[in-house]
Amino acid sequence: MDQPSQPKLKLFVSALSGKGRALRRAPKVAALLRSQGWNVDVRVTHRSDDPAALAAACTNHWVAVLGGDGYIARIATQVGARGGVVLPLPGGRGNDLCRCLGIGTDAVAHVRSLPTASQICAEGAGEHPRIRSVDAMQVRALNGVNEGQDAAGQRPASPAKDLEENPVQVLGIVSFGLDALANQIANDTSFASGTFAYAWGALRALQQFHPKTMEIEVDGVRRRIRGWLVSVSNSGWFGGGINIVPSSNPSDGRLELLTVDPVPKRHAIRVLARVLAMRKVDDPILHVEQVTSVKIWDSAGLVAMGDGDQVGEGPLEISVSPDVFRVFV
């Protein structure tokens, strides 16, 4: 029988994230949370559910989320809108958000490291050193969304979302070009996950992709960029464990724009290999600048990938939204 004095915690679990990985971890995670003094109410979501709508209807101040980056983002945004606090738990294939926050990739191990519920919920817990604010990127359509192609420019993309009135929030990186195509291929890979899946996707993408010319606007200044990729970063992490923009801080109210020059493929492969090996990459073909807003006026037919999923196509604006939600890490 539940003790009335126990702090309440809603635990959202994705049945889909990580091809069932989150669902398999859920019983152990819930048991550990209960042993730490939480009154845990578990809600497993399936393909037919809308995680954002369920989170908006939830009234719990403390909400744990076990799933992939996109799943955590959708729920955390709603919880943050009403001032709640999220406990992100890795349950996807890449788990880049949890890596960025220092949580790691093992949900069970992370839960074991948490203080007890009474310690977390003590008076003044809002100042607890393990609570931090997290920014997000808003991806919004500019003048409607056009029919597009995939990142290889070869086949029709999935139906575009209406982003003009309902922007998508992304926590990690919004990418166009080579890295976006690698992400798409990795998503379709069944024999690998995380960095290995992305490495396979990158090798396949290099066989198909060629540098593109895009027209963008950076903090009000238009420019044309030709290269292998254009990415806008909030956290710096992507591809299941690759920290491609180490200078990114998801709590500083700023974004980073990453571009890669249109060098010959053999040069691009050498740089990519260092990125995949998670080594420090200091190459003149990589350009990083701090920004607050990037508008993509001409994407050369490329789709935008964010937090592992397709988030839009055609003309888009990517801007920073500071302090979208708070997490206990």
Burial (Cβ within 10 Å: 0-12, 13-18, ≥19) of residue 133: middle
Single out the residue in 78, 104, 129 at which a domain terminates: 129
25-36 residue pLDDT tens: 999 999 999 999
Q: Same domain for 198 and 296?
A: yes
pTM: 0.82
Q: Same domain for 114 and 206?
A: no
214-266 residue pLDDT tens: 999 999 999 999 999 999 999 999 877 888 898 999 999 999 999 999 999 88
What CATH number did the domain enclosing 161 receive?
Answer: 2.60.200.40
Q: Same domain for 121 and 216?
A: no
Q: Same domain for 171 and 305?
A: yes
Q: Comparing 111-115, 194-198, 262-266, 301-305, which segment has the lowest mean pLDDT?
A: 194-198
80-104 residue pLDDT tens: 999 999 999 999 988 999 999 999 9
What CATH number did the domain enclosing 118 receive?
Answer: 3.40.50.10330
Q: Same domain for 43 and 82?
A: yes
Q: Same domain for 154 and 29?
A: no
Q: Can you list the alpha helix ranges (DSSP code H) found in the chain?
A: 21-35, 51-57, 69-81, 96-100, 107-113, 117-120, 178-187, 194-208, 265-276
Q: How far is residue 211's CA from residue 64's CA, in Å, rounded to a whole number?
A: 41
Q: Same domain for 192 and 281?
A: yes
Residue 1 resides in a domain: no
Percentages of the chain per state (helix, strand, coil), in multiples of 5: 30, 35, 40
Q: For residue 108, give both structure tokens.
A: 């069970």
Residue 15 sits in which domain range?
8-129
Number of compact structural domains in the chain:
2
